[in-house]
Amino acid sequence: MQLALVRERAEAAMIVNVDQSPSEAVMERLRSLPNMITAQLVDLGR
């Protein structure tokens, strides 16, 4: 997990590494959390 803070905009970013791609249901649940601006899946391949 990586965390970053953009003080000028009072926003934070979090990157979470996982072993398997989350389902669309999990992504939708993340997107529905309070104060969540966006949740994106990035597949870097292997």
pLDDT tens figures, 1-46 = 999 999 998 889 999 999 999 999 999 999 999 989 999 999 988 6
* Cβ-proximal residues to 27 (8 Å cutoff; 6+ apart), any chain: 39, 41
pLDDT of residue 44: 87
Q: Tokens at residue 31, please?
A: 């997107």
Distances in whole angstroms, Cα of residue 28 to Cα of each of 19, 22, 38, 40, 45: 19, 10, 10, 10, 22
Taking alpha carbons only, the member of 35, 39, 5 closest to residue 22 is 39
